[in-house]
Amino acid sequence: MTGQDWMEKDFYAVLGVSKDADDAAIKKAYRKLARQHHPDQNQGNAAAENRFKEIGEAYAVLSDPEQRRQYDAVRAMAGGARFSAGAGGPGAGGFEDILGAMFGGGAQTGRGGPRVRYTQSGGGAGFDDILGSMFGSGGRSPYGSAGPTGFTAPTPGADIVAQVTLPFRSAVKGTTADLEVNGRTITARIPAGVNDGKKIRLRGKGRPGVAGGPPGDLVVTVHVAPHPVWTLDGLDLRMSVPITFSEAALGTTLEVPTLDGAVVRLKVPAGTPSGRALRVKGRGVQTVKATGDLLVTVQVVVPQKLSKKARDALETFAAESDGEDVRSGLAERAAE
């Protein structure tokens, strides 16, 4: 990258951040854009590849405090305008005029005056040499170790995304998964109780950095295969158990299976409505830090066919409960 590039490129605009953005905001913007425009996600898209390079170039400068300070100073000196490093037309007012005036080079701005020309090749002092002396770098280019024609700044590696689908029991108990990433086999440890859609970040397992920059991360999205009985809710296990109307009305005791193969006895109080969840403590997901519960939701089953004796009994029950309005106040609440 040349000194002229610093004059012409608005790195803040490239990353979509303000000029007073802090390091965290700059890093967040870079990571988001790098993922969006990474060549692996946009194969065959030349525009995305060029955009990815621009994003890396901008981040390399703005993430380095010293380079950012120098970049801001150069842009402030030029007012953010685009300047030509060569001779301009009459009255063009180029960057050479500014440096001539600053360093007493006898340059005159405006029509007809001699123009000081600062070149970036040959034996003369180049634009980067001048800026180097301005910023106290002892004649060294402020753009990095590659000299006045370019630099290679430490750049973090890009993140890699992957997905894995686990059996339900493995998600509850915790497991490891081998992932093939760019020809490498990476073993990811999946903690106990991981829920569907959870993202696990493996630090330093992404793409290697450039010029000593830190490697990116591997971000694994975990999908959990459904189970016919249980579902995961954080560290809790949930299940539904059917009960009859008489069990709900009169109360009962259920034998409920657990994930580890045991059976627990669960008391259903008399008058339990359909849809109520009853809690069995300590029968959920077990981790080193906490243990979840088993939540049993009872569902009252309505019989599809009734014998004559059963129908007569229900009609008697209905007659005995005549006058009770279970929908009392519904219209009033709906009008609120």
Q: Enter the DSSP assignment of 81.
A: -
CATH classification number, 3-85+120-134, choose in 3.40.50.880, 1.10.10.10, 1.10.287.110, 1.10.260.40 = 1.10.287.110
Q: Provide the pLDDT confidence category of residue 73 given band limits of 50, 70 and 90.
A: confident
231-320: CATH superfamily: Urease metallochaperone UreE, N-terminal domain (2.60.260.20)
Q: Where exactly are the structural domains of the chain?
A: 3-85+120-134, 160-224, 231-320
pLDDT at 198 over 90: yes
- Residue bearing tokens 């696990």: 200
Supply the pTM of this predicted model.
Answer: 0.52
CA gap 85, 102 in Å, rounded:
16
Yes or no: say if 54 and 29 are a contact pair by the CB < 8 Å rule.
Answer: no
CATH topology of domain 160-224: HSP40/DNAj peptide-binding domain (2.60.260)
Q: For strand 184-190 and strand 175-181, is the pairing parallel, antiparallel, or unpaired?
A: antiparallel
Is residue 149 exposed (0-12), middle (13-18) or buried (19+ Cβ within 10 Å)? middle
pLDDT of residue 282 exceeding 90, the answer is yes
Of 11-25, 59-73, 110-124, 131-145, where does the model show the most confidence? 11-25
Identical fold between 160-224 and 231-320: yes
- Per-residue pLDDT of 161-189, as tens digits, reads 999 999 999 999 999 999 888 788 899 99
What is the rounded average pLDDT of the residues 191-197?
93
The predicted pLDDT at position 151 comes to 56
Specify the higher pLDDT residue, 303 or 81: 303
pLDDT score recorded for residue 3: 53
| Residue 145 CB neighbours (<10 A) | 11
For residue 289, the one-letter residue type is K
